[in-house]
Amino acid sequence: MLKLYHAPWSRGSGMLWLLEELGVEYELVEIDIRAEGGVPETYRAIQPNKKVPAIALDGTIVTERAAITIFLADRFPEAGLAPAVSDADRGAYLTMLVYNDAVLDPCISARAHGLEYASNDYSFGLFEDMVTYLERVLGERPYAAGDRFTAADIQLGSSIGYTMRQLKALPEKPVFIDYLDRVLERPANKRAEARDTELAMKTPFFQAMFADSQADQAAMPDRS
């Protein structure tokens, strides 16, 4: 059976959404990336940097979100999540999947860590150029690869949703808000979110975090 190596509320969360869209059976192997002692060294045999997500299917291990997405969406074509190799949307589909990981993600991390740099210092270029490009693409077409929802929207939707709504690093542009309204309400995403939240609530890190925030709230002076 397909195995997903995953940690809740992480870059692996989009994979749960993908698997729900594909409608395939899978076994979830939880990797506690927030464990005090760190991720066990044995996991390096699956993912060379000990990161999630990773998948294993029929003896093949695939790592990196874009690669996993391409692999699974092509492997289960009946779900209709990948434009065929000869489809006019295939180029945009691959571009947006890889852009998500190779440009959007590091631009956001660089911004969140206050890194100052020139465009040609790093392969991912400037944050402002990334925002302008995404705004243009999503202003020109309703979905990442064209007129229909594909697996690229799972990755792009997850990234835009998290970085705009939770991290607050991506500006709240109207095209991003409209795009999220189009993609995040899908039933498969709602199922994935529910499963992820359930997993997060069983994770010692989040249990401690929520216990702390409840304790802080209880200690707040009553202003009523």
Ligand X SMILES: N[C@@H](CCC(=O)N[C@@H](CS)C(=O)NCC(=O)O)C(=O)O
When asked if residue 52 is in the footprint of ligand X (CB under 6 A), the reply is yes
Give the DSSP H or E segment for 30. strand 26-30
User: Quick check: 57 and 3 in contact, CB under 8 A?
Assistant: yes
Query: Which residues are bridge partners to 139 per DSSP?
Result: none
Q: Which residue in 39, 152, 154, 164 binds ligand X (CB under 6 A)? A: 39
When asked if residue 65 is in the footprint of ligand X (CB under 6 A), the reply is yes
Nearer to ligand X, 97 or 138 (CB): 97
Least distance CB 27 / ligand X (angstroms): 19
Listed ranges 46-54, 110-118, 121-129, 176-184: which one lies at the site for ligand X (CB under 6 A): 46-54
Q: Tokens at residue 40, please?
A: 């066990």
When asked if residue 50 is in the footprint of ligand X (CB under 6 A), the reply is yes
When asked if residue 101 is in the footprint of ligand X (CB under 6 A), the reply is yes
Q: For strand 2-6 and strand 26-30, is the pairing parallel, antiparallel, or unpaired?
A: parallel
Q: What is the tally of helices (H) and strands (E) in the chain?
A: 9, 4
What lies within 8 Å, CB to CB, of 131 at 6+ separation is: 170, 171, 173
When asked if residue 64 is in the footprint of ligand X (CB under 6 A), the reply is yes
Q: Which residue in 5, 6, 51, 97 binds ligand X (CB under 6 A)? A: 51
Least distance CB 106 / ligand X (angstroms): 9
Cα separation, 54 vs 66, in Å, equals 11
When asked if residue 6 is in the footprint of ligand X (CB under 6 A), the reply is no
Cα separation, 218 vs 212, in Å, equals 10
Interacting residues toward ligand X by CB under 6 A:
10-11, 33, 39, 50-53, 64-65, 101
